[in-house]
Amino acid sequence: PRNVPMAITTWTFKNATLRAWDVLSNNGSALDAIEQGVAVCECEQCDGTVGYGGSPDEDGETTLDALIMNGKTMNVGAVGGLRRVKNAISVARHVLEHTRHSFLVGDQATEFAVQMGFHEESLTTPDSKKMWMEWHNAKNCQPNFWFNVLPDPLKHCGPYSIPPKGGPVCPSTTCMPDTTTSTCQPPKVPVPPPCPAKKGFPCRACRRAAPRPRAPRSASLPIDRFNHDTIGMIAIDRKGNMAAGTSTNGVKFKIPGRIGDSPIPGSGAYVDNEVGGATATGDGDIMLRFLPSFVAVEEMRRGAAPGAAAAAAVARVARYHPSFMGAVVAMDRHGNTGAACHGIPAFPYFVSDPGNLQEPVQMRTV
């Protein structure tokens, strides 16, 4: 192996990379480097998009997603929608090492964390409260209902093509055949009552008063896009063992319960000692459908260099979603690194520099 040990991190998260480097250069394991490096960002609330006090959901709560993967055993520990516990990456490591499972979510992930000795506390801060209040007041209730739903969700219904006996075959499960007129009709969804525009009215209660029309699969959320700065990290230690991990508080004003790409193995990160690792950041609702980290690792398995592998993974997503925003970083088992991005002017990432004791980590850009 050439550039070993080595760590690589998404975005400008220098302190996290320095911590990982510290662990690795003191003969620590790749798993420890990932856990401790990522934990730095969780404590520092890197860019407000990692850790507590950032990206409140529609209800104002911050929840955390994290993943850690061991490239030697191909085992995974992950948490999704973790509530009221700050150390998401460490809880994920506990899932990895103290359970036979891979992924715990929501309140039960919290319960597990508490049983493991983690401290339970609110993840809301004055900043996240203010951010949520401003958003909430600006929406004035009614638009809030529709906030995460595409306009005209029912327009999906189109005309049927072959009218068989007994009524038309309708093109989607949301369309109902009308045998009298031989047309496809949208289902009769009760129109949500407008919320009274009263200050402080609980929008969520209003939203629940009527069923939420389902957004079509192609929905791209009209949210404040690219509030995306998940930390993703890949490390290789002196023994040649590799690990990868991610941690994020997701996207701002998401529907409570939404989980993005970051904690999904193969999507947020993936690593295999025999090949290398990759991690992704960006528009998680789209990216998770394409498992870009898995794709990048498999590209490297087929012989691609890390940069080309990352580019192939990004290109796969872009083929279907030309306006998506995201990036993939990759590192092979020899410590060679590369990255690719799409839909953003530039994507910075940090790489440790084993040969340079003065500046042990360096920022690069694609």
The set of catalytic residues is 230
Q: At closest approach, how far in Å is the CB of 104 from ligand SD4?
A: 17
For position 261 contacting ligand SD4 by CB under 6 A, the verdict is yes
CA–CA distance from 275 to each of 44, 199, 272 (Å)? Answer: 32, 56, 5
For position 248 contacting ligand SD4 by CB under 6 A, the verdict is yes
Q: Is 364 helix (H, G, I), strand (E, B) or coil?
A: strand
Count of CA atoms in the C-beta half-sphere (13 A) of 283: 24
Of 213 and 284, which has the nearer Cβ to ligand SD4? 284
251, 295, 311, 361: residue in contact with ligand SD4 (rule CB under 6 A): 251
Of 23 and 41, which has the nearer Cβ to ligand SD4? 41
Task: Provide the pairing of β-strand 103-105 with 75-83.
Answer: parallel
User: Distance between CA atoms of 157 and 122, rounded to whole angstroms?
Assistant: 44
Stretch that binds ligand SD4, among 141-149, 259-267, 304-312, 315-323 (CB under 6 A): 259-267
Contact 89, 68 (CB under 8 A): yes
For position 229 contacting ligand SD4 by CB under 6 A, the verdict is yes
For position 250 contacting ligand SD4 by CB under 6 A, the verdict is yes
Stretch that binds ligand SD4, among 69-77, 92-100, 255-263, 301-309 (CB under 6 A): 255-263
Stretch that binds ligand SD4, among 28-36, 110-118, 244-252, 345-353 (CB under 6 A): 244-252
Give the per-residue SS3 of 61-72: CCEEEEEEEECC
Q: At closest approach, how far in Å is the CB of 336 from ligand SD4?
A: 23
For position 282 contacting ligand SD4 by CB under 6 A, the verdict is yes
Task: Provide the pairing of β-strand 63-70 with 276-282.
Answer: unpaired
Buried/exposed code over 252-265 (b: 16+ C-beta within 10 A; e: otherwise): bbbeeebbbbbbbb
For position 230 contacting ligand SD4 by CB under 6 A, the verdict is yes
245, 284, 335, 348: residue in contact with ligand SD4 (rule CB under 6 A): 284
Q: Cβ of 72: how many Cβ atoms within 10 Å?
A: 17
User: Distance between CA atoms of 310 and 307, rounded to whole angstroms?
Assistant: 5
First and final C-alpha spacing in the chain? 25
Binding residues for ligand SD4 restricted to 159-198, rule: CB under 6 A: none
Q: At closest approach, how far in Å is the CB of 10 from ligand SD4?
A: 7
Q: At closest approach, how far in Å is the CB of 242 from ligand SD4?
A: 21
Of 33 and 286, which has the nearer Cβ to ligand SD4? 286
Question: CA 41, 44, 50, 51 torsion: positive or negative?
Answer: positive
83, 86, 228, 321: residue in contact with ligand SD4 (rule CB under 6 A): 228
Q: How many helices (H) and strands (E) does the chain have?
A: 10, 14
Q: At closest approach, how far in Å is the CB of 8 from ligand SD4?
A: 15
**Phi, psi for 170 (deg, rounded to 5):** -95, 145
Contacts with ligand SD4, residue ranges (CB under 6 A): 228-230, 248, 250-251, 260-262, 281-282, 284
